Structure 1
Amino acid sequence: MTNKTTTIIAKAMALNTIFALGVSAETIFIDNITVFDSTGSDPFVADVIIEKGRFSAIAPELKQPANTTLVNGEGLSLVAGLSDIHVHWTANRSVVATELLRYGVTTATDFHSSPDSYAAKREWHKSHLISPHVAYAARIAPPGGHGADWADERMTRLVASPEEAKKVMEYLDDYQPDVIKVFADGWRYGNPKSDTDISLHALQELTHQAKTRGWPVLTHTVTTDGAKRAALGNVTAIAHAIQDEKATDELAALLVDHSVFYAPTLAVYEMRPDKIASYSPAQIKAGESRQQNSEYNLSLFNEAGVTLALGTDSGIGRTPFGESSVREMELMTNFGVSAKEALIAGTLGSAEALGVGKDRGTIEVGKRADFVLLSGEPWKNISDYRNVSAVYVDGILVVKDGELVGQQGPEIPPATPALAMIDDFEGERGLTQYGTLRRADLDYSFPRSHVLMVEKPGSEKGDHNLSVTIELENKPKPKAGVIFPLSEGSFVPVDASEFSAVAFDINAKPGSYIIAMDAYGGSGTATIDVISGWQKIVVPFDSFTGKKPVNIELLRSIGISVAGSGEESFWLELDNVRFIK
């Protein structure tokens, strides 16, 4: 082996110097490192060459090419980066990206974004963030199903039949999700009130339509009956623990026969002291019982040959980003999975579940150079994965000694100037003047109130307005209305500081209506009284109140809604929703 290079780095130099010099290198030569390649082979010592973001050579005693950066691998191990197939991006994206990378997660799903926000978020990650690869998941649930109890159908599409499954997939063609997330099970962990399960024939059509498009289907499945339905529905992976009861050998065999991956999400259910501090004794007992079922079923499925993957449900239930991905593998080993099996589940298994196993997840020539350098042998002691020295994504150093390399991008995108006209209902059907999809503003939890929006001709020729019908459900404090996003998915804010008020024309059932402004950092509302007939309403910005002042320079959406009594009906017509000076 020779060391011809324009940048010669002595083996005795500190790792931080080596990594700092390697950040922008196109070609990296890692010398004399122990490689665990996640293919099932035993670890081996080799030299590794990375060119243009991919592994180009892996073998002992390689000749170092000219013009490369040398990384001393002696005493270190090289393993593939983790893929977490169950992540909810519930915090600012720069924060989530940083935490995932710090723990060696180089690919993660996003289960918390509406399809109309994918394009803006993909561009934001590409252009502004130091980030893992993100697989955007389109959310689908049956009516009344888990996952459909918040936001509207722009966030979670509803499917109850094969015909609806086909229509939803055609709708998603415009947005190109990376995976499909189906909230297939309605069981709520022993609570007396359960949500709706998806039907087998609807699930089968969903998976058929998705797989013809190359989209893996992951399901929220938590029961043995649901696991059987998932297998017969030909889903790609179950992304939750089966924990209502102990599974049977027949169920395990069915999962194997249908090649269903299993990601048990043990971390979100772990009975940690900080999580159970407010639990009653009965809740603690029930949670411990469910985890016992999770342990039994994981061992059963693993021994039967079900392929394991890694998912955490991080972002939900105080399950931290990044750290929980490593904790998930530790819990797997606590429940009888070997360290080697857990590590392969978190790398190759998860990559294959996401349909990218040919691109990443192992240390092989031609694969994407998403990898971690660490001290220890995590294939023997999985907790050694915590000893991260460096994390690389596409062959670029992104984490060194637990800290991000370089300056992370802003927590939120910069605002664009606000347009005066928000929606005059004269443009492309269903779109505001901002080019965004109007949304229904629905109350949380079942039963949910109903909103019907229809564009219709106005009193003057060529004029149109929006007709809104609202049926409030019989529940405490029902509320519903319409939201006008100011960017796709309300992701990129707008700066409305050159204006002083929101204005609109309204003809509605007389009563009090709520005007809302949502912004990064806080939201505010104002109440107006509407009388019979068309009238022009002006709501000054300074009349909006909330827990925090509304930042007019970071606005995300404007909404108009009504609160009332259960089973009460309202109607309203809107025109020329706008900002005024």
Structure 2
Amino acid sequence: MIRTALALLAAFLVAAPAPEASTLIRGAHVFDGAGSPAQVRDVLIRDGRIAAVERDINPPLGARVIDAAGMTLLPGLHDLHIHTRSQVFENADTLARGFAPYVASGVTSINEYSVNREMLPRIRAIVAGGRVDAPHLQLALRMGVPHGHGTESDFTNSITAQVTTPDEARAAMAALLPHRPDVIKVFTDGWRYGRDEDRPNMDLPTLSAIVEAAKRAHVPVVTHTVTADGARIAAQAGVDAMVHGIGDTLVDHALVQLMKRRGLAYVPTLVVYEPQQDREFLPQEWKLVRPRGKAREAERDAKPVAPIPTYESRRWRIMQENVRRLKAAGVRIGVGTDAGIGGVYHGWATIREIRWLVKLGFTPAEALKAATSESALIIGKGDIQGRIAPGLNADLLLVGGRPDQRIEDLYDVRHVFVGGRELSLPAARAALAADAP
């Protein structure tokens, strides 16, 4: 009887999967993402989640221990607005190389806005194994109006569902939602910055129908919104966030109060509107630019500084002041970049966006909160990511120095974890140097 029991036990132990090794990050300044001052703590990672945040944790048997003395551990960064070329999504290798700039910059969660419903199953199959070194991908399906923004090229026109009435909106959402999008992106605002002829806008009843359908499915809705009137429509419709900043006029008290009352978050994507004619890079940024980007910037630097168009400088002044006003009023602000669009480089543009928030009056800690817990809340993930607390996903960034006090230390990336698994920084940096894909 005993011999039989021992044999059964041995068979079970052979067949059972080996327990996942734990990781203990010891002695870091832990910035929890929720706004509390950083404190020296140990953080234990187990089974993809944060198991404990305490002083002097004894490492479990077989645990890997990272000595993080003098470093800062914070939640991985979010970028709520990027565009990626479709070639990146061909296979696991191209995906890992394509998103290497985000890994190298400590970005662990992104919102992707250049995919269609047919691409979603393939992308999800690639990342389903959990072994691709890439951030979490929130895949958005797009909606707009005929001839509106978001339909300019053959590709963007083909991936943007176009509606003009509430009934059309409800029918389109009924077709999109079975594909399980993580986000619905709606191109509602056709203002072209005083530079080009304006495009059509989406009206309030149509946008409201989209939001109502999305809320029933628990899918967040964000809008391309660049005007004060567009912000009023977005707030009245109940969207979760407007991406891109208000650039036509300064926000007034009534609009600010409407945004606060309706819970409309603001993702200004400053780096896509920052004038590039006289833009300068920090040495830490320059190291993260791929060879093609360096060639582009070198070509620009070789020429006399071009004058900044009046419409562009005016819009830039307005956008900066609107961020100051909305922050002062307590409107939730998240981090996005529009990376992939005209000179906004993937990965490190996220850190540049965070630095711009600091320039506009955020403390470093407030800017980091915007890039972590606030951005997680905006996309409906605040219960699982964006903070360092027991039970949450172990999406973590370990950097040298104290970025909660000196934001430039955020470039000193030492370790990046997504779902508790450490991603390879050497591989990410090698992919940057190779300029591929």
Structure 2: unaligned runs, 5 residues or longer: 1-18, 89-95, 280-300
Counterpart residue identity of residue 195, structure 1: R
Report the counterpart of residue 295 of structure 2 in structure 1: none
Deviations 1:115-138 (Å, cap 9, x if unpaired)? Answer: 111000111233473111101101
Counterpart residue identity of residue 147, structure 1: G
**Which one of 85, 93, 111 corresponds to residue 90 of structure 1?**
85
SS at match of 1:146: coil
Q: Mark the CA change 1:403 to 1:282 in structure 2 (over 3 Å): closer, same or farther.
A: closer
Deviation at 1:384, TM superposition (A): 1.4
Report the counterpart of residue 119 of structure 1 in structure 2: 121
Q: How does 1:58-137 map to 2 (within 5 A)?
A: 58-90=53-85, 92-93=87-88, 94-127=96-129, 129-137=132-140
Report the counterpart of residue 153 of structure 2 in structure 1: 150
Q: How does 1:327-346 map to 2 (within 5 A)?
A: 327-346=352-371
Q: TM-score, normalised by structure 1?
A: 0.63
Report the counterpart of residue 29 of structure 2 in structure 1: 34
Report the counterpart of residue 350 of structure 2 in structure 1: 325
Counterpart residue identity of residue 38, structure 1: G
Q: Does 1:355 align with 2:380?
A: yes
Counterpart residue identity of residue 194, structure 1: D
Deviation at 1:343, TM superposition (A): 0.5
Report the counterpart of residue 179 of structure 2 in structure 1: 175
Deviation at 1:274, TM superposition (A): 6.9
Q: How does 1:416-435 map to 2 (within 5 A)?
A: none
SS at match of 1:373: strand
Q: TM-score, normalised by structure 2?
A: 0.84
Report the counterpart of residue 258 of structure 2 in structure 1: 254
- Structure 1 range deviating more: 268-277 or 177-186: 268-277
Query: Quick check: 1:398–1:405 contact (8 Å CA) kept in 2?
Result: no
- Structure 1 range deviating more: 372-381 or 309-318: 372-381
Deviations 1:481-517 (Å, cap 9, x if unpaired)? Answer: xxxxxxxxxxxxxxxxxxxxxxxxxxxxxxxxxxxxx
Q: Mark the CA change 1:283 to 1:406 in structure 2 (over 3 Å): closer, same or farther.
A: closer
Deviations 1:147-168 (Å, cap 9, x if unpaired)? Answer: 0222376500011111111111
Counterpart residue identity of residue 225, structure 2: T
Query: Quick check: 2:165–2:206 contact (8 Å CA) kept in 1?
Result: yes
Q: Mark the CA change 1:279 to 1:210 in structure 2 (over 3 Å): closer, same or farther.
A: farther
CA distance in 2, matches of 1:122, 1:291: 37
Q: How does 1:299-448 map to 2 (within 5 A)?
A: 299-400=324-425, 403=428
Counterpart residue identity of residue 125, structure 1: V
**Which one of 243, 248, 265 corresponds to residue 244 of structure 1?**
248
Query: Quick check: 1:115–1:154 contact (8 Å CA) kept in 2?
Result: no
Alignment RMSD: 2.5
SS at match of 2:193: coil
Counterpart residue identity of residue 148, structure 2: G
Counterpart residue identity of residue 97, structure 1: F
Deviation at 1:173, TM superposition (A): 2.5
Q: Mark the CA change 1:375 to 1:297 in structure 2 (over 3 Å): closer, same or farther.
A: same
Counterpart residue identity of residue 106, structure 1: T
Deviations 1:277-309 (Å, cap 9, x if unpaired)? Answer: 999977533211111101110011111110110
SS at match of 1:348: helix
Counterpart residue identity of residue 137, structure 2: V
Deviations 1:524-560 (Å, cap 9, x if unpaired)? Answer: xxxxxxxxxxxxxxxxxxxxxxxxxxxxxxxxxxxxx
CA distance in 2, matches of 1:75, 1:382: 15
Counterpart residue identity of residue 355, structure 2: E
Q: Mark the CA change 1:406 to 1:161 in structure 2 (over 3 Å): closer, same or farther.
A: closer
Deviations 1:204-256 (Å, cap 9, x if unpaired)? Answer: 11111111101100110000111111100100001111111111121111111
Report the counterpart of residue 545 of structure 1 in structure 2: none
Larger Rg: 1
Report the counterpart of residue 138 of structure 1 in structure 2: 141
CA distance in 1, matches of 2:20, 2:345: 32
Deviation at 1:69, TM superposition (A): 0.8
Q: Mark the CA change 1:384 to 1:114 in structure 2 (over 3 Å): closer, same or farther.
A: same
Counterpart residue identity of residue 177, structure 2: D
CA distance in 2, matches of 1:297, 1:114: 33
CA distance in 2, matches of 1:282, 1:51: 54
Q: Mark the CA change 1:278 to 1:246 in structure 2 (over 3 Å): closer, same or farther.
A: farther
CA distance in 1, matches of 2:86, 2:354: 23
Q: Does 1:291 align with 2:316?
A: yes
CA distance in 2, matches of 1:39, 1:270: 28
Query: Quick check: 1:260–1:307 contact (8 Å CA) kept in 2?
Result: yes
Q: Does 1:53 align with 2:56?
A: no
Deviation at 1:29, TM superposition (A): 1.0
CA distance in 1, matches of 2:169, 2:305: 41
Structure 1: unaligned runs, 5 residues or longer: 1-23, 413-581
Deviation at 1:272, TM superposition (A): 2.4
Report the counterpart of residue 39 of structure 2 in structure 1: 44
CA distance in 2, matches of 1:151, 1:135: 23
Counterpart residue identity of residue 63, structure 1: N
CA distance in 2, matches of 1:296, 1:306: 14
- Structure 1 range deviating more: 210-219 or 265-274: 265-274
Query: Quick check: 1:96–1:321 contact (8 Å CA) kept in 2?
Result: no
Pick 1 or 2: higher relative contact order, CA cutoff 8 A, min separation 6. Answer: 2
CA distance in 1, matches of 2:407, 2:72: 13
Deviation at 1:406, TM superposition (A): 11
Report the counterpart of residue 5 of structure 2 in structure 1: none
CA distance in 2, matches of 1:156, 1:349: 28
Deviation at 1:396, TM superposition (A): 1.3
> What is the number of equivalent residue pairs in this alignment?
388
Query: Quick check: 1:83–1:346 contact (8 Å CA) kept in 2?
Result: yes
Counterpart residue identity of residue 116, structure 1: E
CA distance in 2, matches of 1:161, 1:224: 22
Query: Quick check: 1:397–1:405 contact (8 Å CA) kept in 2?
Result: no
Query: Quick check: 2:86–2:114 contact (8 Å CA) kept in 1?
Result: no
